[in-house]
Amino acid sequence: MELFERITRTSPDSPGDTDAPQGASGSTGGARPAEQNGWDNADDSAIIRIDHLSKVFASKTKTVIAVNDVSFEVKRGEIFGLLGANGAGKSTLIRILTTLLSPTSGQAFVNNYDITEDPEKIREIIGVCAQNYTSDSELTAYDNLEFYGKLENVPDSILPDRIWELLKMAGLADRAYMPVGTFSGGMKRKLEIVRAFIHRPLILFLDEPTIGLDPEARREVWQQIMMLNREHTTIILTTHYMDEAEKLCGRIAFVERGKLIALDTLENLRKLIPAGDLIEIGIDHMDAPVEENLRSVPLVNAVSVVEHKVTISATNGSQAIPSILAIFDKFQIPISSLSIRSPSLEDIFIYLTGKGLDNGNGEGNDTPGPGRRR
């Protein structure tokens, strides 16, 4: 009982080292929609501090640097997004922070406990939803939750109520006594997520929580995450879905091949792209002179052509459109579609890394993006 109380109620103050590596500050979150309250919850003390952390996996044939000299902080009460392509090192970072792996070098502190010296203390205050399924598929949903409740020291007096609460939250109450092996992927994942916070942890690690979920289930998971955050749970989320990070995260860290390449609020990250709006034009074919002409339009900052799509970044896009259309007209190139939007996280990611999230896997593409920074 005592332990449980301590986990849920106390939030010891850590020494206030508030400088985030990329110079973000709380005031920049003001423009965010009201529902994205992860940022509003955050006070400025760091709950996780990572200091020059590296992890090298060495085998006979190959040495892989999964995490390469990463330093950052996670503030108490925020929803922190860790973004990157598959194999970027997100899961390794999470495994180090959750004491499953030990770092090769560097230090990390979770709620002021050193991950290598006090792993037991850290395990008491964290909840983890791993990327792969870790529930026992031969046991029922109820049994799985009961098992973890006991391992997490949830008192027996409140455990059954808590289990039913979580099952209802996950929409699995009617399947409580069915083996998890019979569940669909989405149901398993939801069970996995609610299981991670059965003991109301101080910090919740979610590694790709919505992978493989249908849109409706994803929204439900997002609701749960936001609700938990309102209860002052600090959440560290890894994802490669940009919309998810945009919707949930107060601050976002981009990880690319084990390195931290940017960390800031979405608003501030947007400012990294010099040209505000993106104009996408669908075409049949493209001529080199057209590209030259487009670049000469005053408001246009950059032009790129991929197969049948021209992407133009332009300051104040709507004003640039007439002159752009005129050029296509002049060279008699028919336009099949046209759209204009502000840059998404994905655009920022592409801008920073020079490649998209879906095709980049840390191999092959060696050319850094135009604005690659450390």
Q: State the DSSP string of 262-307.
A: EEEEHHHHHTTSSS-EEEEEEES---HHHHHHHHHSTTEEEEEEET
Q: What's the min distance (Å) between Cβ of 80 and other proteins? A: 18
151 vs 325, beta carbon nearer other proteins:
151
Distance CA 127, CA 136 (A): 17
Write b or e for each residue in 20-53: b if 16 or more Cβ atoms lie within 10 A of its Cβ, otherwise e.
bbbebebebbeebeeebbbbbbbbebbbbbbeeb
204 vs 245, beta carbon nearer other proteins:
204
Q: What's the min distance (Å) between Cβ of 7 and other proteins? A: 10
30 vs 181, beta carbon nearer other proteins:
181
3-state secondary structure of 220: helix
102 vs 365, beta carbon nearer other proteins:
102
Read off φ and ψ for residue 47, nearest 5 degrees. -95, -25
Total residues belonging to the chain: 374
Q: What's the min distance (Å) between Cβ of 30 and other proteins? A: 35
Which parts of this chain interact with other proteins (CB under 8 A)?
A: 95, 98-102, 119-120, 123-124, 126, 128, 130, 132-137, 147-148, 151-153
203 vs 350, beta carbon nearer other proteins:
203
* Planar angle of CA 192, 197, 198, nearest 5 degrees: 90
C-alpha count within 13 angstroms, C-beta hemisphere, residue 246: 13
Q: What's the min distance (Å) between Cβ of 197 and other proteins? A: 12
205: CB partners within 8 A, 6+ apart: 94, 97, 98, 126, 127, 128, 129, 196, 236
C-alpha count within 13 angstroms, C-beta hemisphere, residue 144: 28
Q: What's the min distance (Å) between Cβ of 119 and other proteins? A: 8
72 vs 205, beta carbon nearer other proteins:
205
55 vs 240, beta carbon nearer other proteins:
55
